[in-house]
Each structure stands twice: as structure tokens, then as C-alpha cells.
A = this chain, B = another copy of it.
Amino acid sequence: MFKVNENYLKLPGSYLFSTIGKKVAAYKEANPDKSIISLGIGDVTQPLAPKIIESLHSAVDEMGKAETFHGYAPDLGYEFLRNAIADGDYKSHGCDIHADEIFVSDGAKCDSGNIQEIFSIDNKIAVCDPVYPVYVDTNVMAGRTGTYDPSTETWSDVIYMPCTAENDFVPDFPKEEPDIIYLCFPNNPTGTTITKAQLQDWVDYANKIGAVIIYDAAYEAYISEDDVAHSIYECEGARTCAIELRSFSKNAGFTGTRLGFTVVPKDLKAGDVTLHSLWARRHGTKYNGAPYIIQRAGEACYSAEGKAQLKEQVAFYMNNAKIIKEGLKDAGYTVFGGVNAPYIWLQTPDKMPSWDFFDFLLKNANVVGTPGSGFGPSGEGYFRLTAFGSHENTLKAIERIKAL
């Protein structure tokens, strides 16, 4: 008789954004006349840039002719895209990363969930708290996290690194030594970041203790300050301790188009075994490449025209971030983030529990955000709003919140 993976049954409740989706759907059904504005899930709203659309059409045409048709993609992605990434994201920032260290995928969510597979079940993970739920949940599913304590909402075998207003959202090195450290800067959900010097400290720490940093740089395009690293490979020594995850979702609006990549430097080893060879094996065995037409769309993001159009798009969202941040400040809220990231992290009024504030905002302002506690215990008393709405909706949402 077959048995199921018992680790799945340990997961408390459903995935955060599914829960929010269900709550909103229920409210909508009960209140069909209300117009709800979502600044909740990190989904973009601006259409794909003209240069990307042009490249998609042209790739579609190629797929319609035998001479230019493309079947299975190369395991690790097309060279045209990997070269564009190596030049555009790494060489341009002085990072020593080569095209054959880049693995193209269908997005950073998949990669951030799958990357743990190449590590031993015995490894101990450290995560910032609050944190993007996928890092923890996928380790739960793999059986790496011990037992769950519902009273603290924490796992016995996970090292939590609190990031709150008290420490300026900069995690301290944990007391217990981790094997795998998940870092995401600019951070989701807090919208805050750390300086390049602080990131260098993490790289030095990881190299010292022999840990791997899984560095999620999905929000890199939103960096506006000079002393913030765009890639962890700007830090010395990162090639021997860091894997970097990148996405086209937020810089180019690919949430519904799906493209991302992971960098695994060939210097990253456990004994004789390179993590590069293990990730290549996983790609070759369990994945079949991103669609050709989408990889061409990814390439278009690195053209001069594409870059200019995407810069405008990022500026558009960052203007929303400014509207949210200043509007909330005017309304008396304490707010963080929104300078190097499209997320605004606010303290709930009078330390109201995050889910109560979610319900309060949904009911009284018809605005959907994300409860901080959904990202971990240290997120309690915080709330996330995103800058990915339309200009009009962002203005309207803030007016409604101000009017409360």
C-alpha cells in the first residue's frame, strides 16, 4: 500500500497567498458592490514593454516555420540569453560570472523551491524572519525542518534571524552555525536592504563557517542607492559560497510570462563535488528548459531599447512606492522600505495583530495587503503593501487608508 510524504502533512495551513486569495474571494462574494484594490500579492500590472512584445512576435513567427522552428532548448538555456545575462547583469557590475554558470529557468519561485534538493537533508537552514514563505515551506516538504511549534509558529530545526525595526532589518549572525543561509536583498517582504559592506560581512562569515548563501536578488532592479550591491558576486569571495537567484518577474513584468535564472559558480564545492554539477544534473533530469519564445523575450530585456523601457517601468512602480510611503507617513504610520524595493512595510497601528489589520483594511478600505505574520513570527505587527498596482489604484488605496 502506497504511503504519502508525511512531511507535507506537517505544513500548517495553506500557502500564504492562497489563503489571502480565498479570504478576498469570500469578501467579494459577500460584497459584490465593493471595488477592491489589491496591493497584496507581488504581482505586476504594467503590460510587457514594446520591445519585449516585438521580440515575442518575432520568435512566434520563427516557431511557425520549419527552417526556424525550435524544439527542446539546451538544458541550461540558450546561449544568446546566457551571454546577454552574463554581460548585462554581471560583467557590467564587475562580477566574475560566466555564461556557463547561469542556469535559465521558468522563474525564481521554482528555483528557490528546488535548490534545496541538491543539499543533504541533515543540513540546517537559516532564514531571515520575516521571510518569503517558499524557502521554509520547501524545506519542510523535504523533511529538513524538525517539528512545528504552533504557539511560536516556528520549526525546531530552522534558525530564525529576526529582522525588525529594532535591528534596522539587518540580520545578525546566528548563534548556532547554519549550513545553508537564505538571504534576499532588497528584501521581500520588508522592502529594506543592507549595504554592500554588510553583504561582504555575510560572504566572509559563510566562507569562514563553510556555509552556502542562497541569495535571492529578484528585486535588484529597484535598487536606487549607491552602496547597495546588485549582485552578491560584487563581494569578494562570493564565488566559493554563494548561489544567486534572479527573476524577470519584477524588473520586466514577467510574472505571467515566466523566466528566471540561477547562478552557481564553478568554485562552489563540497570536497570534490561542485554544486554546479549537481544543479546541472537536476536541470538535465527534471527540467526541460524555458520556452524558446520566452527566452527570446528575456534577451530583449538586455537590448538598449529594452533596458530603457524597463527603466521607465521600474520608475513607474517606484513612484507608486513613494506615493504609498509618503501617504502612510502623512496618515501617521511608521513605514519602512520603498526606497530600493517595490515593497512598503508598515507597523500596524497600536500593535494590532497583522491578520486583524488585514481584515480591518479589507473591510473598511477595501484594500488588500499582506499580513506580516504570514512571513514569520517577527513579521507580527507589520503589514506589507506593494507598489505594483496601477497609478490610479495606488492613489485611491492611499486616499482610502488616509480616510480611515
* Chain A residues engaging chain B, CB cutoff 8 angstroms: 1-6, 8-9, 11, 14-15, 18, 41, 43-48, 50, 53, 56-57, 60-61, 63-66, 69-73, 75, 106-107, 109-110, 113-114, 117-123, 133-134, 137-138, 141, 179-180, 209-212, 253, 255-258, 270, 273, 275, 278, 281-282, 284-294, 390
B41, B133, B137, B281: the one contacting A14 at CB < 8 Å is B281
Does the CB pair A3–B119 fall under 8 Å? yes
Minimum distance in angstroms from A127 CB to a CB of chain B: 15
In whole angstroms, how far apart are the Cα atoms of A120 and B110 in the complex? 22
Does the CB pair B137–A285 fall under 8 Å? yes
Does the CB pair B57–A60 fall under 8 Å? yes
Does the CB pair B45–A71 fall under 8 Å? yes
Does the CB pair B119–A282 fall under 8 Å? no
Chain B hits for A47, CB < 8 A: 63-66, 69
Does the CB pair A256–B106 fall under 8 Å? no
CB nearest to A4 among chain B residues:
B270
Chain B hits for A106, CB < 8 A: 106, 258, 288, 291
Minimum distance in angstroms from A325 CB to a CB of chain B: 23
Minimum distance in angstroms from A208 CB to a CB of chain B: 11
Given known contacts A278-B8, A281-B14, A3 and B289 CB-to-CB distance under 8 angstroms: no
B61, B133, B134, B270: the one contacting A2 at CB < 8 Å is B270
Does the CB pair B114–A286 fall under 8 Å? yes
Minimum distance in angstroms from A142 CB to a CB of chain B: 9
In whole angstroms, how far apart are the Cα atoms of A66 and B53 in the complex? 13
Given known contacts A110-B288, A282-B141, A285-B141, A390 and B66 CB-to-CB distance under 8 angstroms: yes
Does the CB pair A120–B14 fall under 8 Å? no
B2, B138, B293, B294: the one contacting A210 at CB < 8 Å is B2
Minimum distance in angstroms from A305 CB to a CB of chain B: 15
In whole angstroms, how far apart are the Cα atoms of A275 and B3 in the complex? 10
Chain B hits for A141, CB < 8 A: 117, 281-282, 285-286
A-B residue pairs in contact (CB < 8 Å), sample of 24? A1-B210, A2-B120, A4-B118, A4-B270, A4-B273, A5-B120, A5-B121, A8-B118, A8-B281, A11-B281, A18-B75, A46-B66, A46-B69, A63-B257, A69-B253, A70-B256, A72-B255, A106-B258, A113-B287, A117-B141, A133-B285, A134-B286, A138-B285, A255-B288
In whole angstroms, how far apart are the Cα atoms of A310 and B257 in the complex? 25
Number of copies: 2
Does the CB pair B256–A291 fall under 8 Å? yes
Chain B hits for A281, CB < 8 A: 8, 11, 14-15, 141
Minimum distance in angstroms from A278 CB to a CB of chain B: 5
Does the CB pair B45–A66 fall under 8 Å? yes
Chain B hits for A66, CB < 8 A: 45-47, 390
B63, B69, B209, B285: the one contacting A56 at CB < 8 Å is B63
CB nearest to A55 among chain B residues:
B60
In whole angstroms, how far apart are the Cα atoms of A335 and B144 in the complex? 49
CB nearest to A43 among chain B residues:
B71
Chain B hits for A70, CB < 8 A: 256
Question: Top 8 nearest A-B pairs by Cβ distance?
Answer: A1-B210, A113-B286, A3-B120, A43-B71, A53-B64, A2-B179, A70-B256, A71-B255
Taking A134-B286, A141-B282, A256-B289 as known contacts, 12 extra A-B pairs with beta carbons closer than 8 A to each other, sorted by chain A number, are: A2-B120, A2-B180, A4-B275, A45-B69, A57-B60, A60-B60, A70-B256, A106-B106, A106-B258, A106-B291, A137-B285, A258-B289
Does the CB pair B1–A256 fall under 8 Å? no
Does the CB pair A48–B72 fall under 8 Å? no
Given known contacts A11-B281, A119-B5, A288-B109, A56 and B60 CB-to-CB distance under 8 angstroms: yes
In whole angstroms, how far apart are the Cα atoms of A108 and B317 in the complex? 37
